[in-house]
């Protein structure tokens, strides 16, 4: 009997774009993203039927089925954007940012879909999409590139242009209104600015402007004022969601009441979105909640470590801002569930139900992976 030698599927001499991507992408971050998506699908099965019954859908698996479609689209977007090189990531972000700004303007002038008093969505083929979710990572990538141009062409105009794009985007967020996302984007922009070399005068301007804007929003927006007052004073405002979330977490104990056995989710309006962590803590317990927290913490630390190793100023600043977007959104959602801060209406990345949230998070992490390719991975290619 004779054997015929065959070439390996992916030889070491292979220099195709796919092999280059495979060798330089951070598989640890990809594995973490897929793990969180799987947790999100599991929790959609746990919280979806009660949410469907409360809203009035005949199909109890309405939300799990749609979340499966969102997750599939998220995987494609995550992998697709991670394959971009740094130049194409910047070009893609520029086109995306301009498109999202145009869509947000269109929504505000009456072309969008209103929900709970906010104008943030646009209806496409039966789905509601939120352009602001894609605008956040696009702005951070563009800002990182603009600020990095100071090294090549020392001129204050780069800082000014970056700030103008930031001001326009945040202004549109506030007009929707969406104070929580405005705060999140501002924090990520400041990190991007800081990593690129933030002058002290800009830091002072951000601090002063933030305090002034916070006071203005408190004075002009009743829902912001009510949330802050309600959080600071237990005798004021509606605490039903936070109280029920605390009840769910308390009932879970160490190992939970069992999959599908949670009771509080039937009385929690946003159980499948903003308060999915509380549902998880009730049904799967403290151990599962700690595992989820550890997954987020490890991904964030790994992301910042990879970002710190990037030599290119644009990629280093932009990736740091993108990992800030991802990590801070998770921290805010968890803090709301644990009653540490006032409710923000912010989803848990990859875990909460929602198409815009899933695609926005996939885009954020995909662009970050594209910018740090080759940093901290087993082998290094031309991106490192």
pTM of the model: 0.88
Residue 17 has, within 13 A of its CA and on its CB side, a CA count of: 6
Q: What are phi and psi of 87, to 5 degrees?
A: -65, -45
In a domain, 379, yes or no: no
In a domain, 12, yes or no: no
Distance spanning both ends of the chain, measured CA to CA: 47
SS3 120: strand
In a domain, 214, yes or no: yes
Going residue by residue through the chain, which has 384 residues, state the pLDDT in tens, using 9 for 90 and above. 455 545 455 555 566 778 888 888 999 999 999 999 999 999 999 998 888 888 888 898 999 999 999 999 999 999 999 999 999 999 999 999 999 999 999 988 876 666 665 677 787 766 778 899 999 999 999 999 999 988 777 777 888 899 899 999 999 998 888 888 988 999 999 999 889 887 767 767 777 777 777 677 666 666 666 666 655 555 555 667 788 888 889 898 899 898 888 888 888 878 888 899 999 999 999 999 999 999 999 999 999 999 999 989 999 999 999 999 999 999 999 999 988 888 777 899 999 998 899 999 999 999 999 999 975 444 444 433
Contacts of 18 (CB under 8 A, 6+ apart): none
Contact predicate 165/330, CB 8 Å: no
How crowded is residue 134: how many other Cβ atoms within 10 Å of its Cβ? Answer: 22
Q: In 315-330, which positions are buried (b, 16+ CB within 10 angstroms) versus exposed (e)?
A: bbbbbbbbbbbbbbbb
Residue range(s) defining the domain that contains residue 64: 26-371
Structurally, the chain folds into a number of domains equal to 1
Residue 325's closest CA among 337, 311, 307?
Answer: 307
In a domain, 18, yes or no: no
In a domain, 3, yes or no: no
Spatial separation of the C-alpha atoms in residues 103 and 234, rounded to whole Å: 39
Contacts of 335 (CB under 8 A, 6+ apart): 341
In a domain, 15, yes or no: no
Contacts of 156 (CB under 8 A, 6+ apart): none
In a domain, 1, yes or no: no
């Amino acid at each position: 009997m004779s054997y015929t030698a065959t070439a390996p599927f992916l030889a070491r001499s292979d220099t195709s774009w796919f092999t280059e991507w495979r060798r330089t992408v951070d598989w640890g971050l990809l594995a973490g993203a897929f793990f969180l998506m799987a947790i999100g699908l599991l929790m959609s099965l746990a919280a979806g039927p009660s949410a469907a019954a409360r809203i009035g859908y005949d199909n109890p698996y309405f939300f799990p089925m749609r979340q499966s479609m969102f997750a599939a689209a998220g995987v494609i977007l995550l992998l697709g954007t991670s394959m971009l090189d740094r130049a194409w990531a910047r070009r893609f972000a520029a086109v995306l940012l301009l498109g999202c700004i145009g869509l947000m303007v269109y929504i505000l002038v009456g072309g969008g879909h209103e929900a709970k008093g906010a104008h943030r969505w646009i209806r496409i083929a039966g789905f509601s999409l939120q352009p602001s979710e894609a605008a956040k990572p696009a702005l951070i990538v563009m800002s990182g590139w603009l600020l990095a141009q100071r090294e090549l062409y020392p001129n204050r105009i780069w800082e000014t242009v970056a700030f103008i794009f930031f001001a326009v985007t945040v202004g549109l967020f506030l007009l929707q209104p969406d104070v929580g996302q405005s705060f999140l984007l501002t924090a990520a922009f400041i990190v991007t600015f800081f990593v690129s070399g933030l002058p002290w005068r800009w830091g002072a301007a951000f601090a002063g402007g933030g305090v002034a804007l916070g006071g203005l929003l408190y004075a002009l927006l009743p829902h912001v004022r009510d949330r802050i007052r309600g959080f600071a004073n237990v005798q004021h405002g509606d605490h039903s969601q936070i109280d029920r979330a605390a009840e769910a977490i308390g009932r879970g104990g160490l190992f939970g009441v069992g999959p599908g056995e949670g009771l509080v989710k039937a009385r929690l309006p946003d159980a499948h979105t903003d308060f999915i962590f509380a549902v998880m803590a009730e049904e799967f317990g403290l151990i599962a909640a700690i595992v989820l927290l550890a997954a987020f913490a490890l991904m964030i630390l790994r992301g910042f470590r990879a970002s710190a190793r990037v030599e290119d100023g644009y990629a280093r600043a932009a990736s740091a801002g993108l990992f800030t977007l991802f990590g801070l959104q998770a921290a805010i959602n968890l803090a709301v569930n644990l009653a540490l801060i006032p409710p923000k209406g912010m989803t848990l990345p990859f875990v909460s139900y929602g198409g815009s949230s899933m695609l926005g998070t996939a885009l954020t992490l995909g662009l970050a992976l594209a910018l740090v390719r080759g940093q901290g991975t087993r082998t290094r290619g031309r991106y490192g």
